[in-house]
């Protein structure tokens, strides 16, 4: 779940770039003598090529010399065309981290530089092909289909204060979204393949569907930035008893309210550990952010439009010379106004050309990248065998109307709400 702006954001060690603007076009000459503090990166070419020395500024005329005659015509404005990517590469090889902004360039970089510390930042877009709706798509997104709950506003379903007062809407929705109803996508298995190839440093995911775990990605390699259904806790601050996913799921699926059996409070709801608005992000998010991003040698962002902080700002945490690939249906966080290290797919204003873009679905992008890396068969084979295994695994038998361990039956039924939300939401029920 997204976090509110009150959640402490990551520090943003801005190291570089005076953004160009239409009024102030990028100037290679000035960039050479730029004032960034990333001098340790900037002084030595990474590929052993000779660094380009800054040209000496030549005075237009000697002091005390006679000023040139005015011709009567206005002098031509000193407009400098931005350099093309090829020009940049030829003139300033140390600036061109990627040869261009394509998947091919990324694949070449991975091969030539023996990339081993890839960070994947993933969002709802990697799960949509599994049938899970994203949150914000107009018309089909989750937030646009919650009107029947009479919520004060759509996001209230994930608001901790609203949940304390009225948890039924969330439980009804959770029943539909519960992990186990969906299978991981090709994109999830691409991340797992990176791990199997010893190339994955970490997968930071915004998703709460736990499909990364279902796909077999080692939880140590995961940072579930907005929590997940994997564990749950009693919401009473003085209790906080932990419960398993299965314990909560059994109750939700049978229409019983998951009430804490330790403190027996009448409002002691047991809530899956997904981060609601008004709650802090898991501490693991911040500790791993500080440990991982300085070591990252390739950042892959996929299936997210980077609208939710502090997750979105993570793209600024890698070194200025670390290549970044966005696989998404649309561009996002581009241009100088998107932040000092927003994406620069055209190579027009960053000092280092290091951003690549694939516009399309995550599954397409991952398959193409796998093919370029020579891993296509591995990916398809992994995806096929894992899905066959999931299809063949026996379905869990959910007991009918169980009582709580203390013999209490939950007082509030949610079946009617579940039926209502199932009808309103276009969620595909997977076997």
Between residues 44 and 267, which has the closer beta carbon with respect to Zn ion?
267
Q: Is 263 known to sit in a ligand binding site?
A: yes
Q: Which stretch binds Zn ion (CB under 5 A): 227-235, 273-281, 306-314, 352-360?
A: 227-235
H or E element: which one contains 181?
none
Total binding residues toward Zn ion, as defined by CB under 5 A:
8
* Catalytic positions, written as ranges: 226
Q: Is 362 known to sit in a ligand binding site?
A: no
Q: Is 239 known to sit in a ligand binding site?
A: yes
Instruction: Determine the Cα–Cα distance for residues 413 and 401; give it in Å rounded to an integer.
Output: 11
Between residues 267 and 415, which has the closer beta carbon with respect to Zn ion?
267
Note whether 183 and 210 are within 8 A (CB): no
Tell me which residues in 132-151 interact with Zn ion (CB under 5 A).
none
DSSP structure string for 258-302: -B-TTT--TT-BEEEEEPPBTSPPPHHHHHHHHHHGGG-SEEEEE
Per CB under 5 A, 98 contacts Zn ion: no
Instruction: Determine the Cα–Cα distance for residues 133 and 187; give it in Å rounded to an integer.
Output: 16
- Smallest separation (angstroms) from Zn ion to the CB of 179: 23
Site mask, Zn ion, residues 183-222, x = CB under 5 A?
----------------------------------------
Between residues 201 and 248, which has the closer beta carbon with respect to Zn ion?
248
CB hemisphere CA count around 377 (13 angstroms) = 1
- Smallest separation (angstroms) from Zn ion to the CB of 232: 11
- Smallest separation (angstroms) from Zn ion to the CB of 261: 8
Residue listed under structure tokens 């190839």: 197
Q: Which stretch binds Zn ion (CB under 5 A): 22-30, 78-86, 233-241, 340-348?
A: 233-241
Query: Cα angle vertex 301, ends 297, 304, to 5°?
Result: 165
Q: Is 260 known to sit in a ligand binding site?
A: yes
- Smallest separation (angstroms) from Zn ion to the CB of 264: 7
- Residue from 234, 252, 367, 418 binding Zn ion (CB under 5 A): 234
Backbone angles phi, psi at 266, to 5 degrees: -70, -20
- Residue from 239, 329, 398, 422 binding Zn ion (CB under 5 A): 239
Instruction: Determine the Cα–Cα distance for residues 192 and 401; give it in Å rounded to an integer.
Output: 37
Between residues 215 and 268, which has the closer beta carbon with respect to Zn ion?
268
Between residues 208 and 234, which has the closer beta carbon with respect to Zn ion?
234
Strand order in the sheet with 324-328: 222-224, 200-205, 118-122, 298-302, 324-328, 355-359
Site mask, Zn ion, residues 252-281, x = CB under 5 A?
--------x-xx----x-------------
Note whether 321 and 346 are within 8 A (CB): no
Instruction: Determine the Cα–Cα distance for residues 360 and 126; give it in Å rounded to an integer.
Output: 11
Annotated binding site for Zn(2+): 234, 239, 260, 263
Binding site for Zn ion (CB under 5 A): 234, 236, 239, 241, 260, 262-263, 268
């Amino acid at each position: 779940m997204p976090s509110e702006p009150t959640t402490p954001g990551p520090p943003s060690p801005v190291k570089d770039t005076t953004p160009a603007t239409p009024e102030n076009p990028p100037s290679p000459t000035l960039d050479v003598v730029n004032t960034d503090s990333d001098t340790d990166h900037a002084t030595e070419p990474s590929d052993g090529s000779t660094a380009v020395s800054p040209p000496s500024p030549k005075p237009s005329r000697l002091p005390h010399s006679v000023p040139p005659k005015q011709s009567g015509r206005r002098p031509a404005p000193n407009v400098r065309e931005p350099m093309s990517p090829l020009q940049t590469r030829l003139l300033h090889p140390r600036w061109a981290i990627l040869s261009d902004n394509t998947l091919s360039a990324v694949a070449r970089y991975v091969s030539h530089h023996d990339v081993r510390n890839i960070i994947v930042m993933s969002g709802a877009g990697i799960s949509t092909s599994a049938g899970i709706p994203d949150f914000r798509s107009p018309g089909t997104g989750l937030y646009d289909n919650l009107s029947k709950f009479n919520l004060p506003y759509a996001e209230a379903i994930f608001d901790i204060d609203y949940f304390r007062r009225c948890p039924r809407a969330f439980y009804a929705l959770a029943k539909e979204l519960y992990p186990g109803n969906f299978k991981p996508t090709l994109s999830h298995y691409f991340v797992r393949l990176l791990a199997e190839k010893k190339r994955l440093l970490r997968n930071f995911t915004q998703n709460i569907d736990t499909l990364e775990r279902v796909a077999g990605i080692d939880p140590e390699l995961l940072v579930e930035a907005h929590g997940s259904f994997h564990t749950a806790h009693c919401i009473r601050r003085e209790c906080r008893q932990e419960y398993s996913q299965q314990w909560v799921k059994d109750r939700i699926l049978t229409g019983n309210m998951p009430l804490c059996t330790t403190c027996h409070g009448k409002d002691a709801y047991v809530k899956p550990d997904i981060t609601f608005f008004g709650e802090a992000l898991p501490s693991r998010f911040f500790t791993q952010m500080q440990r991982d991003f300085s070591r990252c040698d390739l950042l892959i962002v996929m299936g997210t439009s980077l609208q939710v902080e502090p997750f979105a700002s993570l793209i600024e945490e890698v070194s200025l010379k670390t290549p970044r690939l966005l696989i998404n249906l649309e561009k996002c966080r581009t241009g100088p106004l998107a932040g000092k290290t927003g994406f620069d797919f055209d190579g027009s204003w960053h000092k280092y050309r290091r951003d690549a873009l694939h516009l399309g679905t995550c599954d397409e992008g991952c398959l193409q990248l796998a093919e370029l890396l020579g891993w296509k068969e591995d990916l398809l084979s992994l995806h096929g065998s894992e899905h066959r295994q999931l299809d063949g695994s026996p379905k869990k038998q959910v007991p009918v109307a169980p009582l709580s361990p203390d013999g209490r039956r939950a007082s509030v039924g949610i079946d009617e709400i579940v039926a209502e939300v199932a009808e309103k939401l276009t969620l595909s029920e997977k076997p």
